[in-house]
Amino acid sequence: MEVCKVTKTIVKVGLASCGVAAGAVPIYETLLSALKGHDDVEIKKVGCIGLCYMEPIVEIERDGKSIAYGKVDTELAKEIAESHALRGEIVQRAVILDPSSKACENERMDSQVRIVLRNSGLIDPEKIDEYVARDGYGALKKALSMTPEQVIEEVLASGLRGRGGAGFPTGLKWKFARGAKGDKKYFVCNADEGDPGAFMDRSVLESDPHSIIEGMTIGGYSIGSDEGIIYCRAEYPLAIKHLNVALEQAREKGYLGKNILGSNFSFDIHIKEGAGAFVCGEETAMIASIEGRRGMPRPRPPFPANSGVFGKPTNINNVETIANIPWIILNGAAKFSEYGIGKSRGTKVFALAGKIKKGGLAEVPMGMPLREVIFNVAGGIAENKKFKAVQLGGPSGGCIPESLLDTPVDYESINATGAIMGSGGMVVMDETTCIVDVAKFFLAFVQKESCGKCPFCRIGTKRMLEILERISEGKGVMEDLDTLLDLAYQVKEGSLCGLGQTAPNPVLTTLKYFREEYEAHIRDKKCPAKVCTSLIHYVIDPAVCIGCTKCARNCPVSCIAGEVKKPHVIDDEKCIRCGQCKKVCPVGAISVE
């Protein structure tokens, strides 16, 4: 962690969405009350530092040291205020970050290279002066002293590729937009993050909105645009709030608007709120939505660089891509390209979720093996269970098995597994996860989110989902697996946009790496993970049951019978497989078969 040189004691409270959801607002109010009247203490709202599993988080900067506390409740908040903030006495039992000791989360933070997340959790996102104090808008000043072509060449030299999933070279995209002919050009930020389990972009927008504004302004200058649009889903109210505050502050300070910083360059940004359609993450569907039409993709060419918003040349980059830009311009392309491997340079932010010990955000150098990300950065599998697979790339991605855990995180290597990098959602599964159920979940998602324009996507994904549902109910036949593969390739080849072209990926990768689990559902009518309700049965062991009646009292359908202090029995025909009886049994007499 970086420490500001201040004389005051600074108390920071993480109030991004993850912090608020964990109860950080009462913590903030408790600290305000406990430290009221102490002018030598400043209490600040900050964004997410990435340790979402440790929220609420409170950080104290005092005496040249920065100490962070995790899982803070109101009682602990009072103690931290009185002991540490006022007297300088560290509450050791709750410390999670401390550079001078072996705090539990030091290693996680030390293993990262924070470029995109450089300010997240450190500054108040609603105060532009704090962003400026950390070299904010310095890159814009530098860019305005260069020609647009020089800026584009710097981005090209950095090796930055689109972090939205496709991995197209950002500088090349800007070059195309710069060279396109048109009296009006648009620079669009794609903040329509829609993958289940992904929250990288939301966190950056909430925690460091000025980095996006600065990156977009540099991009606008480079391609010759005077108008920027942030397409952000309305489901991100805190992100939109912080963006609106930041936009107004940037205008007041002269970083947006007419003749920025005394130059001949004028540029402004406004927000377009999306309704949450997954397909609008695709460029041409997003353009349609921005124009006020139904979000449906169109054939390309023409590409957005030549004909985008209202038919004008348009450049579209996602949040993470844009957040890299100020750092690259300020520090140089060579410094950025020091990180990464091969054609994948820089860092990648991942949203770590699923059956792991340490969920949250992490920014690691490109090329780090998946094994290191999951077992070191994310702390390994929760409850020390066995790793099964990791879903990378969201509904458009694929499941990567244990045998491929040494795959480096770079575009080419991940694509070779059948998955994709995607925007950075990483959902980890353990031995209790049914792979058929996972494929069914993601396919159901893309089937519902299909815009319906292409018959292969609209109908093909529906037929695939029906087959998966039959298999999970024990009604499948072996021929279904061949039919699934046939449909998958037809959907990939016959769909217009990326949603349809990648929709079969979860099915293709799970069939490739976990075919035996599909076959067990079909041939043996068994779910190896004991998840699919039609293929499992709850059984009470009479030798273990003590007849406490707890299971019977908690059964929602009254399917358990038995006398007090005598073994109970489950009526299998009535049982709905909710698992409540197993959860409440005090002696572990109930098992799943």
| pLDDT tens by residue, 253-269 | 999 999 999 999 999 99
Q: Please give the average per-residue pLDDT across 123-137, as a whole number.
A: 98
User: C-alpha 474: how far from its chain's center?
Assistant: 34
DSSP assigned state of 482: H
Residue 10 in this model has a pLDDT that exceeds 80: yes
Rounded mean pLDDT of the chain?
95
| pLDDT tens by residue, 87-96 | 999 999 999 9
Q: Tell me what percent of the residues of the chain surpass a pLDDT of 90.
A: 94
| pLDDT tens by residue, 352-378 | 999 999 999 999 999 999 999 999 999
Helix pair angle (200-207, 209-223), 10° resolution? 100
| pLDDT tens by residue, 135-167 | 999 999 999 999 999 999 999 999 999 998 778
Lookup: tokens for 7 = 């004389």
Lookup: tokens for 200 = 């990288």
DSSP per-residue string spanning 334-369? HHHTTSEETTEESEEEEEEEESBSS-EEEEEETT-B
Size of the chain, expressed as the number of residues it contains: 593
Judge contact between 501 and 376, C-beta under 8 A: no
Band of pLDDT at residue 202, cut at 50, 70 and 90: very high
Residue 270 in this model has a pLDDT that exceeds 60: yes
CA dist., res. 517 & res. 570, Å (int): 27
**What pLDDT score does 587 carry?**
96
Q: Please give the average per-residue pLDDT across 109-125, as a whole number.
A: 97
Q: Please give the average per-residue pLDDT across 38-67, as a whole number.
A: 96
CA dist., res. 451 & res. 118, Å (int): 37
| Strand locations in 47-153 (E) | 58-62, 65-69, 95-97
pTM equals 0.94
Helix (H) / strand (E) containing 554: helix 550-554
SS percent in the chain: helix, strand, coil, step 5: 45, 15, 40
| pLDDT tens by residue, 556-578 | 999 999 999 999 999 999 999 99
CA dist., res. 575 & res. 593, Å (int): 13
**What pLDDT score does 275 carry?**
92
CA dist., res. 474 & res. 523, Å (int): 9
Q: Please give the average per-residue pLDDT across 418-432, as a whole number.
A: 91
Closest CA to 121 of 22, 214, 203: 203
Band of pLDDT at residue 46, cut at 50, 70 and 90: very high
Residue 461 in this model has a pLDDT that exceeds 50: yes
CA distances from 81 to 10, 93, 518, 568 (A): 11, 15, 55, 53
3-state secondary structure of 140: helix
**What pLDDT score does 306 carry?**
97
Residue 369: CB atoms within 10 A of its CB come to 16
315 bridge partner residues: 187
CA dist., res. 558 & res. 551, Å (int): 9
- The amino acid at residue 290 is I
Report the chain's terminal Cα–Cα distance, integer Å: 49
**What pLDDT score does 325 carry?**
98
Band of pLDDT at residue 7, cut at 50, 70 and 90: confident
Phi, psi of 292 (to 5 degrees): 95, 10
Judge contact between 450 and 499, C-beta under 8 A: yes
Judge contact between 113 and 365, C-beta under 8 A: yes
DSSP per-residue string spanning 381-415? BGGG--EEEEEESGGGSEEEEGGGTT-BSSHHHHH
Q: What are the contacts of 260-267 at 24+ separation with CB within 8 A?
A: 260/140, 260/144, 260/217, 261/140, 261/141, 261/144, 263/144, 265/144, 265/221, 266/226, 267/217, 267/220, 267/221, 267/225, 267/226, 267/227, 267/228
Q: Please give the average per-residue pLDDT across 458-465, as a whole number.
A: 96
* Residue environment code for 525-539, b if the CB has 16+ CB neighbours within 10 A, otherwise e: ebbbbbbbeebbebe
Q: Please give the average per-residue pLDDT across 387-402, as a whole number.
A: 92
**What pLDDT score does 346 carry?**
97
Q: Please give the average per-residue pLDDT across 282-300, as a whole number.
A: 95
**What pLDDT score does 395 carry?**
86
Closest CA to 371 of 421, 418, 428: 428
- The amino acid at residue 492 is K
Band of pLDDT at residue 332, cut at 50, 70 and 90: very high
| pLDDT tens by residue, 217-237 | 999 999 999 999 999 999 999
Residue 6 in this model has a pLDDT that exceeds 50: no
Strands 58-62 and 186-191: unpaired
Judge contact between 435 and 455, C-beta under 8 A: no
DSSP assigned state of 302: S
Lookup: tokens for 531 = 């998840």
Cis previous bond, 299, omega within 30: no
Residue 299 in this model has a pLDDT that exceeds 50: yes
Judge contact between 226 and 257, C-beta under 8 A: no
Half-sphere exposure of 453 toward its Cβ, with a 13 Å CA cutoff? 16
